[in-house]
Amino acid sequence: MQISFFYDKGTIRLFPLTLTRPADFFRVGIYRIHEKWQRLLHPKNISRLVPGYLAAQYKVDELTDEPCLWINSRLLPDFDLQHHINDLKIGQGLQHNGTPLLCLQDGMKSRQWFDAGKPDFSGVAMTEIENPHLIVNTWDVFRMNGDQIVFDLDLHGIYSRPEKLPAGVVADRPDQVFIEDSSIIEPGVVIISSEGPVYIGKNAYIMAGSVIRGPAAICDNATVKMGTRIYGDTTIGPYCKVGGEINNVVMFSYSNKAHDGYLGNSVIGRWCNIGADTNSSNLKNNYSMIRVNDYQTGEIVDTGLQFMGVIMGDHCMTAINCMLTAGSLIGVSTNLFGSHFTPKLVKSFQWVGQDNTEPYRFDKAVDAATKMMLRRNVEMTDDYQAMLKHIHDNFC
């Protein structure tokens, strides 16, 4: 079998995170969504439909004559859903409240859909299902994260090996600590896994004095600096560096929060740098539910959450001592500085100071991003720069 991810109008609600990636590239738990599906179904080919400006950046396999399972890119897999998939026949699908989730289609029609740039579900026999794990809002990423860490460990099939805990590391439940090879955990690290497992990926580096409370995932090549406090439902993505106090945060990859400061109930994209003593508010003083401004329309949306920090797009930076407002949405390639609370909605390519906001010149933004990426031995390609240019020209 082969699979192909498709996007729908729901991805617009996930700006700014979906400005630079398809939703199936969201990291929720240990893995990105498409990686979860790959581990669950073991498809021969993986394809996807994306907005045109993302196509060169996210290349795919060509569809073959085999049946293809079409998957909503916002849909997280689960084992119950797998049973539904096993029962599907060609031309059948699953939906929730009218939103298509899955469809099994033959190879010829799948290629027609792919060439047309969108699937046509009008002739598909859809079955309604309840309670799918579907990402509807950006804050669903951190809200679902703890459960997804547990699911991913089941999916991964990794076994706890308490004997791999280094000398000097304190763990209340060693059987709930999952350590990959080549990781380094220094003496004096405390791991509390009585409320959920803790996963430590390959080549991860946990420095002395850090405290990690599960469920938590420290992914491959991530660094946790000395004395860091990580609370549950947190994922530190590959190549991220973190310090300070972190609670229910998802950091996708290659981002830094390396110094003191609090970050809670937040999602941080790739290539972000959060300056020393930057703090995110995640609770209103009157304890009311947090409201956000829709990135595209500016419309006020009630999250139904009492705790929410910041949703930050790729290539954002905060200066030292920044104060991030509860319920903030920060666009791609934005700089925040000053001793004030930042605006709740900041569009992409903005330079936000205490007294004014100015456009961030594209050439300067690309220059800074290129230098940051080269520090991690990653080259900015022409396709990547073209993607950023489209965002600059259309979503500022």
User: Amino acid identity of 354?
Assistant: Q
Mean pLDDT of 6-19: 97
Q: 355: pLDDT confidence band, cut at 50, 70 and 90? A: confident
Q: What is the pLDDT of residue 272?
A: 98
| DSSP notation for 84-144 | HHHH--TTEEEEETTEEEEEEE-HHHHHHHHHHTS--GGGSEEEE-S--EE--STTHHHHS
Asked if residue 309 lies in contact with residue 251, where contact means CB atoms within 8 angstroms, the answer is no
Structure tokens of 121?
């579900």
CATH fold for domain 2-136: Spore Coat Polysaccharide Biosynthesis Protein SpsA; Chain A (3.90.550)
pTM comes to 0.96
CATH for 142-394, among 1.20.120.550, 2.160.10.10, 2.40.30.10, 1.10.8.60? 2.160.10.10
**260-317 tens-digit pLDDT:** 999 999 999 999 999 999 999 999 999 999 999 999 999 999 999 999 999 999 999 9
What are the residue ranges of helices labelled H in the chain?
33-41, 79-87, 107-116, 140-143, 145-156, 362-375, 382-394
Residue in this structure with the two tokens 């439909």, named with its chain if needed: 49
Mean pLDDT of 135-164: 92
**52-77 tens-digit pLDDT:** 999 999 988 888 999 999 999 999 99
> Which H, E and C letters describe 203-224, residue by residue?
CCEECCCCEEECCEEECCCCEE
Domain ranges in the chain with CATH number 3.90.550:
2-136
Domain ranges in the chain with CATH number 2.160.10.10:
142-394
Quick check: 116 pLDDT over 90?
Answer: yes
User: Amino acid identity of 12?
Assistant: I
**163-183 tens-digit pLDDT:** 778 999 999 999 999 999 899
Q: What is the pLDDT of residue 74?
A: 98
Mean pLDDT of 136-146: 98
Mean pLDDT of 364-369: 96
